[in-house]
Amino acid sequence: MDFFWPVLAIVYQGWTLTLPGVVIFALAVGLPRRRSEDLYSSRQLALAALLVFPITIVSIGAAFWHEDSHSFAPRWPAIILSDLWLAHVVVAVYLVMKFDDVRVRAAIAGISSVWVSTWVVLISVMAVTNDWI
């Protein structure tokens, strides 16, 4: 149970910023699909895989939460978090360029998932460095 309270704290502190992004992402991936396209097609799964990045970022932020005020926090978790965010941006841009026929839907899904990832990485970096705004 000690592992889950930091996850809840990160989600609680950033839910007002991330909830609209998650809703827009779900609508972009789930609703506007063509009748001939299956819900579990490769495009749908590739766009849904964009949410792996924010979930991984929250997990790393929770696993390496630094509370000790008497010692310095290691910098490598913050570097990993920022690199994951940068990889997320690259993958989102790649998917927008790859899916020509559903580019608008891919762009909406990419932008909303990067929005969620941006706020989650900010809160997670503050958690792992114990340097709160």
Rounded Cα distance, 13 and 58, in Å: 12
Residue with the larger pLDDT of the pair 27 and 76: 76
Best-predicted range by mean pLDDT among 19-23, 91-95, 116-120?
91-95
What is the residue extent of each domain of the chain?
4-129
Question: pLDDT category, 1, cuts 50, 70, 90?
Answer: very low
Q: What is the pTM of this model?
A: 0.72
Mean pLDDT over each residue of the chain, to the nearest integer: 76
How far CA 40 is from CA of 83, 110, 116, 130, in Å, comes to 29, 18, 23, 40
Give residue 28's pLDDT. 64
Mean pLDDT of 55-65: 85
Tell me: the pLDDT tens digits for 72-101?
Answer: 778 888 899 999 999 999 999 998 898 887
- The single-letter DSSP state of residue 37 is S
Across 21-25, 58-62, 68-72, 87-91, least confident range: 21-25
Question: pLDDT category, 19, cuts 50, 70, 90?
Answer: low
Please give, one letter per residue, the 3-state secondary structure of 66-133. CCCCCCCCCCHHHHHHHHHHHHHHHHHHHHHHHCCCCHHHHHHHHHHHHHHHHHHHHHHHHHHHCCCC
> How distant is the alpha carbon of residue 128 from its chain centre?
16
